[in-house]
Structure 1
């Protein structure tokens, strides 16, 4: 038997308008790079403390 989807949780409903992906700007790339480098630096310090 088929079950009718409730209107409270429309998780399976299609979006009416598809989102258009836009390319990242230069400033957004720079911010992303800085975050990644900071995370790698912190992970390196934590790993050095744990494995020493």
Structure 2
């Protein structure tokens, strides 16, 4: 016979929902790549101004 044990903090014991992972589209890859490249470019410009 199985016994269901109650947790010490029932308010924090929530059922975990399983996520369905979606494949990223080509447009999302391009947008993410452009964002990363802009961040890197701005970082290089700021670092050049600071250390020159």
Q: How high is the TM-score relative to the length of structure 2?
A: 0.73
Alignment of 1:9-48 (within 5 A): 10=12, 13-15=14-16, 17-48=17-48
Aligned residues: 46
1:7-49 superposed Cα distances (whole Å, 9 cap, x missing partner): 1xx2x5341x300111100110011001000000000000100
Structure with the larger RCO, 1 or 2 (CA within 8 Å, 6+ apart): 2
Is the radius of gyration larger for structure 1 or structure 2?
Answer: 2
Which ranges of structure 1 fall in alignment gaps of 5 or more residues?
none
RMSD, aligned α-carbons: 1.8
Q: How high is the TM-score relative to the length of structure 1?
A: 0.73
Which ranges of structure 2 fall in alignment gaps of 5 or more residues?
1-6
